[in-house]
Amino acid sequence: MPIKAVCVLNGEVVKGTLFFEQENPDSAVKVTGEVTGLSKGLHGFHIHEFGDNTNGKI
């Protein structure tokens, strides 16, 4: 069974949704999605092992 996760970007300008899927623990992670609101040019991103689990509340 594939392992799946989602990342929702909800900034003032930058917004989007990224989907992560891994067929099994030994396979590569496939990342798909769309991000809007970025300036023209090249951009990159990095992934933390643990995300923000506060759901916007501290």
- Examine the pLDDT at 56 and tell me if it is beyond 70: no
Which residues, 6+ apart, have CB-to-CB distance to 13 below 8 Å?
A: 37
pLDDT in tens, 5-46: 998 999 899 999 999 999 999 999 999 999 999 999 999 988
- Examine the pLDDT at 1 and tell me if it is beyond 80: yes
User: What are the tokens at 34?
Assistant: 């769309």
Rounded to two decimals, the pTM is 0.77
pLDDT tier at 53 (50, 70, 90 boundaries)? low
Q: What is the dihedral of CA 49, 41, 34, 46, to 10 degrees?
A: 0
